[in-house]
Chains A and B, each alone.
Chain A
Amino acid sequence: MNNCDQFRELIEAYALGALDPEERAALEAHLATGCSDCTKAAEEARWLVSQLAYVAPEASPSDMLKGRLMQTVRAEAPSQAKPRVLPAKSSIPFWLWAGVAALLVFSIYSAWNTRRLENEIREANERAAVLRSEGEKTAQDLALAKREAMILMDPNSVKIALKSGNAQGPQLEAKWHSQLGVVVMGENIPMPSPHHVLQLWFIPKAPGKMPMPSMMIRPDANGKFVLLVSNPPESMDATKALAISEEPEGGSAWPSNPPRYSGGVS
């Protein structure tokens, strides 16, 4: 094997760019000596390697790429350079620009319209939620009123008179139905002191057992109230009396003042 034969074995890999540095340096040193046969072989090997480009499947770049290129090329072209054979044509035809413009307008309108519809839907949902809430409250009020009426009119309800310490003071009344609950009502009730409320208590019969706190009573401007206690904390049989006292705002766990009104459960 002469010197050239040794290098000819490397020529194809050299053209491919696959030689490691030492072999590449040796081959290039040989080519630098002016070996015409190896130089021609290297040039032909580069052509052979260039044919490998066809192994890659052809693919179309986007129209945008051509648009960008042509825009740059036109900007760099000297003004006197004119097409000689074929007239230059825009890479993006007018109808496409018109379509893009129409699409842009439509997109803006759609976005605006979508936002408007979204606002209308949101407002309608809010109105529906308010109406639904009001409807639910009305239904609740109606159910409570119905229950109050049943307690007040049922002959099985036990009437309890809640008397004040002052004989001239207002008289309150409660009706207790063993299944439906207790309704307490009154008129001309003096308003409690500022930052105080009236609180209902159930006094158990069992000796030593503490009064059971119940609901707050808030008379209206005329001193009138009707209070439904759906689930009394004590059963009627276990309850000695009902009492109402003035307590700090928010109520108390046990009475902090003597009762204003009280009445025994017969």
Chain B
Amino acid sequence: MFLAAFTSSSPREVSLDATLLSRLLQKDVSAFEQLYDRHSRLVYGLVLRILQQASTSEEVVQDVFLQLWRNADQYDSSRGPFVPWLCTMARNRALDQLRLKSERQRRREDQPAELPSVVVAPDYEKALDEKRRAERVRTLMASLTPQQKKAIELAYFEGLSHSEIAATLKEPLGTVKSWIRNGLLRLKEGLRATT
């Protein structure tokens, strides 16, 4: 049941992450260290891309991994694959920090909860290792129009809403919505086609 959650990575990687997480539930320090070694570069790269500042990014990454260590028992198969779950948690923390930093402390109601919502890998998602997965996503993003790419990145890395992106880019709201939706659908189709 527990292993079923890790369907978005290669079988070998899923097996290793699943094994490490099961040991993490037993407060195994070595398992935690291996999980950190396996995923800290991805998590730190994401947080650094959002915050653009190394020291603050390290604080966020520290919080994320300490939460993983302290609340590993809250993680179960219903929360979906591990790496997307970890990245979603890291992104939420980084955007919180970004809003705090920019004094936009208003809590948007659409902000994700403390723990990420359910994430389910689609049927077409097959086993890919982290490196191939990263190459594929980057290639597909590069194939989007510059406007689609820019709008999606403003939403994902800066946490902006449709209206905020429209104001930032000085473009009509409907146009921005189309860019984001069409860009994400194109990304989805690309992922489907390459798996």
A interface residue numbers (CB < 8 A to B): 9, 12-14, 16-21, 24-25, 40, 42-62, 65-66, 68-70, 72-74, 76-78, 81-89, 91
| CB of A115, distance to nearest CB on chain B (Å) | 32
The answer to whether B162 touches A13, judged by C-beta atoms less than 8 angstroms apart, is yes
Q: Are B122 and A44 in contact (CB under 8 A)?
A: yes
Q: Are B155 and A16 in contact (CB under 8 A)?
A: yes
Expressed in whole angstroms, the Cα–Cα distance for A13 and B80 within the complex equals: 20
Considering the complex, give the chain A residue whose CB is closest to the CB of B70. A76
A15, B163: Cα distance in complex, Å: 16
Cβ contact within 8 Å between B29 and A56: no
- Please give, as numbers and ranges, the residues of chain A lying within 8 Å of B36 by CB-CB distance: 66, 69
For A58, the chain B residues whose CB sits under 8 A away are 41-42, 44-45, 134
A20-B161, A21-B109, A24-B109 known; A84 vs B28 contact (CB < 8 Å): yes
Residues of B within 8 A of A9 (CB): 181
Interface pairs (27), CB distance under 8 Å: A13-B155, A14-B110, A16-B184, A17-B108, A17-B155, A43-B80, A47-B81, A47-B119, A47-B122, A48-B191, A50-B83, A51-B137, A51-B187, A52-B152, A55-B137, A56-B45, A59-B41, A59-B48, A61-B40, A61-B41, A66-B36, A74-B29, A76-B27, A81-B28, A83-B29, A83-B30, A85-B30
Chain B interface (Cβ < 8 Å from any Cβ of A)? 8, 19, 23, 26-34, 36, 40-42, 44-46, 48-50, 54, 57-58, 61-62, 65-66, 69-70, 80-81, 83-85, 87-88, 90-91, 95, 108-112, 116-122, 125, 133-134, 137-138, 141, 152-153, 155-157, 159-163, 165, 177, 180-181, 184-185, 187-188, 191
Contact between B46 and A69, CB atoms less than 8 A apart: no
Q: How far is the CB of A240 from chain B (nearest CB, A)?
A: 86
Do the beta carbons of B29 and A70 come within 8 Å of each other?
yes
- A40: which B residues are within 8 A, CB to CB? 120
What are the residues of chain B within 8 A of A76 when measuring CB–CB? 27, 69-70
- A132 to B47: give the CA distance in the assembly, Å: 63
Instruction: Please state if A43 and B118 are interface contacts (CB–CB under 8 Å).
Output: yes
Set of chain A residues within 8 Å of B118, measured between Cβ atoms: 43, 46
Q: What residues of chain A lie closer than 8 Å to B80, measured between beta carbons?
A: 43, 46-47
- Of A17, A59, A88, which is within 8 A of B45 by CB? A59
Of chain A, the residue at the smallest CB distance from B33 is A70
> Are A21 and B108 closer than 8 Å at their CB atoms?
yes
Chain B residues closer than 8 Å to A51, beta-carbon distance: 84, 133, 137, 187, 191
Instruction: Give the distance to chain B from A66, nearest Cβ to Cβ, in Å.
Output: 6
Establish whether residues A18 and B112, one from each chain, have CB atoms under 8 Å apart when the complex forms: no
| Contact A12 to B181, CB < 8 A, known contacts A48-B191, A53-B42, A53-B87 | yes
Given known contacts A50-B88, A56-B48, A83-B29, A65 and B184 CB-to-CB distance under 8 angstroms? no
Of the candidates B8, B110, B160, B181, the one whose C-beta lies within 8 Å of that of A47 is: B8
Q: Tell me the smallest distance from the CB of A80 to a CB of chain B, in Å.
A: 9
Cβ A73 vs Cβ B165 within 8 A: no
Closest to B26 in A: A81
Residues of B within 8 A of A61 (CB): 40-41, 44, 57-58, 61
CA distance A57 to B165 in the complex (A): 23
What separation, in Å, do the CA atoms of A219 and B153 have in the docked complex? Answer: 93
B90 to A, closest residue via Cβ: A53
Which A residues lie within 8 Å of B141 (CB)? Answer: 52, 55
- Chain B residues with CB under 8 Å of A46's CB are 80, 84, 88, 116-120
In the complex, which residues of chain B have a beta carbon less than 8 angstroms from the beta carbon of A55? 49, 137-138, 141, 153, 156
User: Which residues on A sit within 8 Å (CB–CB) of B134?
Assistant: 54, 58
Residue in chain A with minimal CB distance to B19: A85
Closest to A65 in B: B58
- The answer for the CA separation of A16 and B31 in the assembled complex, in Å, is 31
Using A48-B188, A56-B49, A88-B29 as known contacts, say yes or no to A18 and B155 having CB atoms under 8 A apart: yes
Judge whether A88 and B33 touch: CB under 8 Å: yes
CA gap between A9 and B174 in the complex, in Å: 13
